[in-house]
Chains A and B, each alone.
Chain A
Amino acid sequence: MNQPLPNSFRQGPDGRGRFGQFGGRFVAETLMPLILEVEQAYEAAKNDAAFLAEWRRLLKDYVGRPSPLWLAERMTAHLGGAKVYFKREELNHTGAHKINAVLGQILLAKKMGKTRIIAETGAGQHGVATATACALFDLPCTVFMGATDVARQQPNVFRMKLLGAEVESVTSGAATLKDAMNEALRHWVANVEDTYYCIGTVAGPHPYPAMVRDFQCVIGDETKQQILAAEGRLPDALVCAVGGGSSAMGLFHPFLDDKGVAMYGVEAAGRGVDTEEHAASITRGRPGVLHGNRTYLLQDGDGQIQEAHSISAGLDYPGIGPEHSWLHEAGRVNYVTATDDEALEAFQLCSKLEGIIPALESAHGLAHVMKLAPGLPKDAIVVLNLSGRGDKDIFTVAHHLGVKL
């Protein structure tokens, strides 16, 4: 890039919802007034002490925050290099980081006077978190989920139904997360008056990428305090899997201006980035416009969107949040990849060494830690965002290991 590096990496987005050239508001006119309304409501809410106090109360007493920062000693000894810490988002109520931003958004929806909630989900974690918050606040909830994902994430589908949500199985396209998001947007267009769309990641039209990031920053803010308390210094590296990239933005953002902290966003390489079957939008994609924002996308030479592939339903998305695209081009965050097989290996290793069954999403992050840590000195510190627990994935993993349950 020929542009000078900014003084701060934490100033974005600009007034148009852009991070450099990325982001924006690429939606149909029917949605535009609503997007502006969400933006206005969020701008007011984020400076509203009572709103934030209520959100913090829910995070503490309902979600169980702060989540611990765990020194993974057996993993550290096994890898033989840097000290490895896990930020244990998997211990949150509902089993992943998604609930942090969902509670913020549901409070916002109530403040806006909306009476119905819709959401899209891939792995089902965001759907479960949204269904949970809607049960708590007594709001009707519809979750759009690709039919392929409905089949491979049955436990989460059942959870959502138990929580009182309707699950709409989406059969268009490849019937995965991208198509669930298309369908949620179509439904929203038709129900703008009473409905709030609770987006699960740092993508979509402005203000969603910034808003979801802000709510998820609780992860990085806590990590900073916890690592300073434990080690008296900041970590050398942060690692997190990226699909849309909400858990990674939440961990990275509070550290972006701390020059000594290296960051690694781990994309899903599926069967390998040189095959057709991966979900590595930054590594193998190029900038385009989809789902309301300009960002790196998997697309063919004619601008048609390609299907992503990952063993992890939560990473199976052909795009990535626009701020990640910007941080990539600015060179602040390194985007690397881990294959299905590497994630499966990390999944098993973590279970055996630490007694923690990680989500397949988080296992991609761990797979990179397994490459990174051995080459670092023993006094180096690496923090992995263990963004979700793997109970939902045991059927998928058993299938891939050839085990019949």
Chain B
Amino acid sequence: MSRIATRFAALKAEGRGALVTFLEGYDPDPATSLAILRGLPGAGADVIEIGVPFTDPMADGPSIQKGGLRALKAGATLAGVLALVRDFRKENAATPIVLMGYFNPILSYGVDSFCNDAAASGVDGLIVVDVPPEEADEIEPQAKANGLDLIRLIAPTTDDSRLPRVLSATSGFVYYVSITGITGTKSASGADLTAAIPRLRRHTELPICIGFGIRTPEQAAEAARIADGAVVGTALVDALAGSLDEQGRAKPDTVRKVLDQVRALSEAVRGVKKAA
């Protein structure tokens, strides 16, 4: 069983939902990024998403755009992010790692060698935002051959006729984009989500995580109650950004401030008891 499947099965047995965290790799510099990464499991992250910085992040809001630019300025590359994962894996063999980003850096690296190197580095899944199922043959065979899950976004605009197609191209877990919009700009209502998730459940057995509009511990708890997990990105990137000095450099308490936020989110998610 993959790390992702193992983790969700364990959480189900525990009777709770998952906290999935997102931060850009190399934000604001490689050392701080690695220190945060190493602290995430202890602070309560169940699944870790690492953003692969790209100059033109078409689906991201201002916070994550800025995080990506800080990371690029700090020298982020796809190869650098893979090195970050290898360093993380020296200390942690259990927490699933998902890389999230855009297709061009992967294309530039070479799809075959990227999937091969990602798996060897300890990556478990990929979210390639701008490769919809219609273009799946660009990366799906290579990802499968290397045992990498391809996690797909499902949006409120994904209608019933399209849903089976998108879900059948998904593995690992389903990432439900709770809003029609870019990351971190608005929040979905509980009522919308309560209606949306059963619609997905009719078509898939995979765990469902909700993201794109989850900021607070309360929202994370609600997402974990309605679905199988909550993805929090922008709020963490904002916490990180807020801890930097005027030149955008990490301060001594940057790592702690981000991890404190993760702890608060995790407590809220763990507070929701679910049927095992």
Taking Cβ atoms with an 8 Å cutoff, the residues of A that contact B are 16, 24-34, 172-173, 178-179, 182, 185-186, 189-193, 287-292, 297, 299, 301-305
Contact = CB atoms under 8 A, between A and B. Distances in A.
A273 to B, nearest CB: 21
Interface of B: 54-62, 65, 72, 77-79, 102-109, 129-132, 134-135, 152-159, 162, 166, 177, 179-182, 185-186
A190 B105 contact: no
A304 B132 contact: no
Nearest to B179: A190
Contacts of B59: 28, 30, 186, 189
Contact of A304 (B54, B103, B153, B154): B54
A28 B166 CA distance: 12
Contact of A26 (B130, B158, B179): B130
Secondary structure at the B interface, as helix, strand, loop or mixed, is loop
Given A182-B58, A190-B180, A305-B56, A289 B104 contact: yes
A289 B109 CA distance: 13
A16 B57 CA distance: 23
A303 B177 contact: no
A33 B72 contact: no
A192 B108 CA distance: 31
Q: Nearest 4 pairs between A and B by C-beta? A: A303-B108, A190-B181, A303-B105, A30-B155
A84 B57 CA distance: 44
B153 A302 contact: no
A178 B55 CA distance: 10
A304 B55 contact: yes
Contact of A289 (B130, B134, B180): B130
B55 A305 contact: yes
Given A26-B103, A186-B59, A288-B107, 10 more contacts: A29-B154, A32-B132, A33-B157, A182-B56, A186-B61, A291-B56, A297-B104, A299-B108, A302-B105, A303-B107
A28 B108 contact: no
Nearest to B60: A186
A204 to B, nearest CB: 11
B30 to A, nearest CB: 15
Contacts of A290: 56, 104
Contact of A33 (B107, B108, B162): B162
Nearest to B59: A28
Contact of A27 (B106, B107, B132, B159): B132
A32 B154 CA distance: 10
A185 B131 CA distance: 15
Nearest to B103: A289
10 contacts: A26-B132, A29-B152, A29-B154, A30-B153, A32-B134, A178-B56, A289-B130, A304-B55, A304-B72, A304-B104
